[in-house]
Amino acid sequence: MTTVRHSIIGLPRSGKTTFLAALWHLLNAGEVPTKLELDRLVGDHKHLNAIVESWMQCEEVQRTSIAAETSVSIYVHEPATGRKAMLVFPDLSGESFERQLATRSCSASYVELLQGLGGVLLFVTADRPEDGMTILDIGSVTNEAEELRSSGDANDTQEWTPQSVPQQVQIVELLQFLQRSPFEMRKRRVAVIVSAWDVVAESQRSPTQWLEGELPLLYQFLETNIESFEWRVYGVSAQGGDVKSEQRDELLNAIPSERITCIGPGSRTHDLTDPIGWLTAED
Amino acid sequence: MVDSINKLRCSKAECEVAITGACAEGHAPPRSCPFFGQQAATEIEEYEEDEAEDVSEGVTEKQWISLPLGEPLSPEDIDLFLRRQPATFVSIIGQRDSGKTTLVNSIYERFLKGPFAGYLFAGSRTLVGLEKRSHYSRIESRRTHPDTPRTSISEGLRFFHLAVQDMESKARRFDLMLSDRAGEIYDQARNNTEIVSGLLEIKKADRLVLLLDGARVADPVHRAGSMESLRQTLRVFLDGGGLDKASRVQVVTTKIDLLTRLPQSEAVEKRVLQFCQLLEDNFAPRLGELSFWKIAARDPSGSFLPAHGVAELFREWLTPRPPVIQRSMLTGPIVTEFDKLLLRTPMDVIA
């Protein structure tokens, strides 16, 4: 049976490293039942073990720096069906995705990774400041502002850079790239992982409703491009809560794998392999 | 002081902003010019050479593959696009600063917040271009007042792309191409019929949008001139062969927030209505359709919601209309069997 290769896409600070730490522990420890089981890992164990240690101690998992950057691949299989999958984290830091947008180019290896039948784990985070706000979103323009403008006081203004682009627009662009050459044009499964789900869990919205409300351009894009993307949204709290608050003691006392929450369509489990299982499943 | 002079630079070779402080494109202040502050061509070449050296020194052995730029589309890009799928062309014509780009931006900004006018955002080939044009209206720009960078003359004709899907009927999906060209060119065309034939966006237009600048209408000094300018533009486009009985023209009064705030707003509104009536009387018989609209795409005072009046206009652009058939006689001698066949064929079959 062939191994399906899934790739991970996400901008910096979108929760990829913490997800990987929790997933690695989950697969190794066997504390809770999981859909997929570990076969082997290929890549830098040292960095991986370091981030898992932080995760186990309920410390904030330091985001991956370019210096610590390595490509990590995890091989898993589904005992029920025997299906095999390979999960490739081509860029844990996420900076290569920023670079794609800034330089409008990508590596040949990234194109090669996206060939084949695998799907995409697309990371966005619920724990981020709102961006892309217009001046009028925060109120009408005052007469003072009008006067400032007419007097030409524009010394402190910030010119456009690729980093000025709101995150949801950047993610739509990353997905649009996949719809055109040099990428293979085919339908892909995309599991949108909303990380730091504990931050918004109280709102009672489902992960899909959160996406619709908070990243509306991305939601519309996915809704209208079903010929390119079959998609689902998962809310994931890999830490289980805020490790920088008093909640840390409570989290430390829990069985590590049981801290994890993964909310998918109609399911709420500790199993981070749930979205990977969906990417791997046949129609 | 020396530093501040050194910072004044432009990527256009012929621009002497560094010496004179004046922008060759006519932007005021010069920093609002898209070329301002960019590296000059020679500097870019030097930079690229440096980059090449870095790569050869083994910074990366990776092979890099180009991805789409996301900038506004040129007419050549449009030709390539049309080989794959059809598109609806909306050509937006107006004087300098009349609100052409702001109208496009207001639509894009609405989609960033959710569905707009009954449509869902389905993609855009020009996200970078749209983002650059939106930047001055964003908090990140650290401006105190929302603004739109002016389209420069040297950019020529460009198109912004928006793909949208009807929320009710998913089968109804459209690729909209919205034209973008510096208003100065339309001012030139107004004075010279021959320029009209070179304005591709007029011939391509499924909808031709003529902007009446509300800011000029609000100013008694420029009021009559702005109306006259629009009338002349319409006449020149018709006389120059750009528009005909098949054309759908929309006259859109922009920045109506400025008009409603005038002490004599009723009188000004009446004046605009009279002007529109005259346009209707004089030009509607020569066009397929002539309609009138009012918008406030981005009211700084907040009295009007963003994109006020734009949703109705946007929906109209996407409303399919039967083609207007123009009946014309065959010119020249009837020689071949094909000529005879053409004579016997109903014109709507050809269309």
> Which of the four pLDDT bands, split at 50, 70 and 90, describes residue A237?
very high
Query: How do beta strands B248-253 and B207-212 pair?
Result: parallel
Averaged pLDDT for residues A72-98: 85
The answer to whether the CB of B173 falls within 8 A of the CB of A167 is: no
DSSP label at residue A137: G
- All residues of chain B having their beta carbon less than 8 Å from the beta carbon of residue A106 are 64-65, 67
> Which of the four pLDDT bands, split at 50, 70 and 90, describes residue B100?
very high
- Cβ of A104 within 8 Å of Cβ of B302? The answer is no
> Which of the four pLDDT bands, split at 50, 70 and 90, describes residue B46?
very low
Residue B57 has pLDDT above 80, yes or no: no
pLDDT at A57: 84
Averaged pLDDT for residues A160-168: 91
Residue B107 has pLDDT above 50, yes or no: yes
Cα four-point dihedral sign A224, A230, A235, A238: negative
- Rounded to two decimals, the ipTM of the complex is 0.91
The amino acid occupying position B198 is: G
In angstroms, the separation between the Cα of residue A175 and the nearest Cα of chain B is: 10
> DSSP H helical segments within chain B, as ranges?
2-7, 17-20, 41-56, 75-84, 100-113, 127-134, 183-190, 193-196, 200-204, 214-218, 220-239, 256-260, 265-283, 310-317, 337-344, 347-350
pLDDT tens digits along A209-227: 999 999 999 999 999 999 9
pLDDT at A130: 78
Residue B209 has pLDDT above 80, yes or no: yes
How big is the A-B interface in CB pairs under 8 Å? 152
- Cβ of A137 within 8 Å of Cβ of B140? The answer is no
- Cβ of B139 within 8 Å of Cβ of A137? The answer is yes
Residue A105 has pLDDT above 80, yes or no: yes
pLDDT tens digits along A42-52: 877 777 788 88
The amino acid occupying position A128 is: R
Mean pLDDT of chain A: 86
Lowest mean pLDDT among A64-78, B219-233, B284-298: A64-78
B347 against A133, higher pLDDT: A133
Lowest mean pLDDT among A55-64, A125-134, B21-30, B73-82: B21-30
Nearest CA in chain B to A100: B67
Cα four-point dihedral sign A177, A183, A189, A194: negative
Residues 100-139 (A) with a CB less than 8 A from some CB of B: 100, 103-109, 111, 131-139
- Cβ of B139 within 8 Å of Cβ of A108? The answer is no
Residue B164 has pLDDT above 90, yes or no: yes
Nearest CA in chain B to A136: B300
Rounded to whole angstroms, the Cα distance separating B107 from B89 reads 15
> Which of the four pLDDT bands, split at 50, 70 and 90, describes residue B287?
very high
Identify which of A140, A162, A180 has the shortest CB distance to residue B68: A180
- All residues of chain B having their beta carbon less than 8 Å from the beta carbon of residue A162 are 128
A185 touches chain B (CB under 8 A): no
Averaged pLDDT for residues B139-158: 83
Residues 68-107 (A) with a CB less than 8 A from some CB of B: 100, 103-107
pTM across the whole model: 0.84
> Which of the four pLDDT bands, split at 50, 70 and 90, describes residue B69?
very high
In angstroms, the separation between the Cα of residue B4 and the nearest Cα of chain A is: 12
> Which of the four pLDDT bands, split at 50, 70 and 90, describes residue A68?
low
